[in-house]
Amino acid sequence: MPSSHEPRPGSTASLRSANTQRILQALRDPARDHETAYTQAELARLTGLAPATVSGIVRSLAETGLADTVPGSGRRGTEVRLARSAGLVVGLDFGRLHLSVALGDLAGRIVAEDRQPLGPDVDHSNGLALAHAKVAELLEQHGATLEDVRTVTIGLPAPVTAGQVRSSTILPGWLGVNARDATAAQFGTHAHAENDANLGALAEHRVGAARGHRTSAFVKISSGVGAGLIIDDRLFRGSDGTAGEMGHLTLDTQGPVCRCGSRGCLETYASIGTVVGLLAERMPGATFADVVEAAREGQVGPLRALEDAGLHLGWGLASVANLLNPTILVVGGEMARAGELLLSSVRIGLRRHSLDAVAATPVVTGELGDRASLVGAVLLAAERTELAVDLVA
């Protein structure tokens, strides 16, 4: 909620408000674990504010219920952390066959989460009702209610423009639905809708494998292939949110017809369905996990299928590296479970088709596994929650 009386720019109140936001920002570092409190000296160092200023603002934050303070022992001084009563956020991650939900604090750190299988024919209203029920259950376990939830972010495996789901191939029950508005209505609070690969990119950048890298690309390979791009520490969404549709880079103009209607897209060479499909005759009924296990045992067919997917992915990543010059490329989604069986050929494909200057860009698997999009949903919800503080000047 915006403050009811914004201080005049340049006034003492406005300066104090800016300083308060700096302290709150320091307290809302998602990479810091819940339990480690800050000393006031540390907050002064992190914000560049005078110790007396910090201590005055911390006292006010404690009075308004946004911060908890604990008298420190010896030289540590008063310890400060973000209060749970400041509010919670919710992250939702809908996949083709799963639904994950999480509660997070306002730093974007997950405090409780759940993952459940979902039928492919669950439509958006039933899906949201299920998510709502699960969130209510997690809130109850934490002695909280829906009134404590400030913002909800929903992640979906589809391009999302201004909240609207733009493709139906993976989640047919969501086509044309404004996921942001539907989520806001279901939860009775602010909501954001975002593509799941974008959320994964954000999560790996803030708290995972791409932490500390200003420019990175995250490619999520599951039923489809999508990428999230971080440029200068910010998620790059393009003009209307559909940037990063890497699965539809053309690798062969005469290649197989893709679900998008084009031919020879990356996705037709490197997706879970393609790899499993290549081995359908040899390993009938096998899942991707079965393929990876067979490759680990040294079976030649599964090894070649993974290698070929990796080479094509590397080729696609070469274009990304040539265009964006990232300092790291992160591979996530279900296919990342193949680990080095996949990545070793990704690196060969990258080297072969990229400029010398970027050929050695590191390629790694994500640190957050199949939780990346969920972690990103919670982070985005926290980042989009403004804490308005009416402090007595």
- Alpha-carbon distance 86 to 68, whole Å? 10
| Cβ closest to Zn ion, residue 88 vs residue 272 | 272
Supply angle C-alpha 259, 261, 264, rounded to 5.
80
- From the list 348, 350, 358, 352, the residue with the least C-alpha distance to 322 is 358
Q: Does 227 bind Zn ion (CB under 5 A)?
A: no
- Alpha-carbon distance 105 to 149, whole Å? 9
Q: Is 91 exposed, middle or buried (0-12, 13-18, 19+ CB in 10 A)?
A: buried
CB of 262 to Zn ion, least distance (A): 5
Alpha-helical runs (H) found in 215-265: none
Q: Which stretch binds Zn ion (CB under 5 A): 75-83, 116-124, 228-236, 245-253?
A: 245-253
Q: Which of residues 249-278 bind Zn ion (CB under 5 A)?
A: 258, 260, 262, 265
Q: Does 286 bind Zn ion (CB under 5 A)?
A: no
Phi, psi for residue 71 in degrees, rounded to 5: -60, 125
CB of 173 to Zn ion, least distance (A): 21
| Cβ closest to Zn ion, residue 106 vs residue 265 | 265
Q: What DSSP state is assigned to residue 83? A: -
Q: Which stretch binds Zn ion (CB under 5 A): 212-220, 242-250, 279-287, 361-369?
A: 242-250
Binding mask 122-151 for Zn ion (x = CB under 5 A): ------------------------------
Q: Does 248 bind Zn ion (CB under 5 A)?
A: yes
CB of 278 to Zn ion, least distance (A): 18
Alpha-helical runs (H) found in the chain: 12-27, 40-47, 51-63, 124-141, 179-187, 196-207, 272-278, 288-296, 300-324, 340-353, 372-383
CB of 301 to Zn ion, least distance (A): 26
| Cβ closest to Zn ion, residue 119 vs residue 277 | 277
Supply angle C-alpha 49, 51, 40, rounded to 5.
100
| Cβ closest to Zn ion, residue 267 vs residue 383 | 267
CB of 274 to Zn ion, least distance (A): 12
| Cβ closest to Zn ion, residue 182 vs residue 270 | 270
Q: How many CB atoms lie within 10 A of CB 259?
A: 17
Q: Which stretch binds Zn ion (CB under 5 A): 199-207, 221-229, 243-251, 374-382?
A: 243-251
CB of 266 to Zn ion, least distance (A): 8
- Alpha-carbon distance 265 to 219, whole Å? 15
CB of 259 to Zn ion, least distance (A): 6
Give CA separation, 361 vs 35, 206, 248, 346, in Å.
35, 19, 22, 11
| Cβ closest to Zn ion, residue 17 vs residue 195 | 195
Residues that bind Zn ion (CB under 5 A): 248, 258, 260, 262, 265
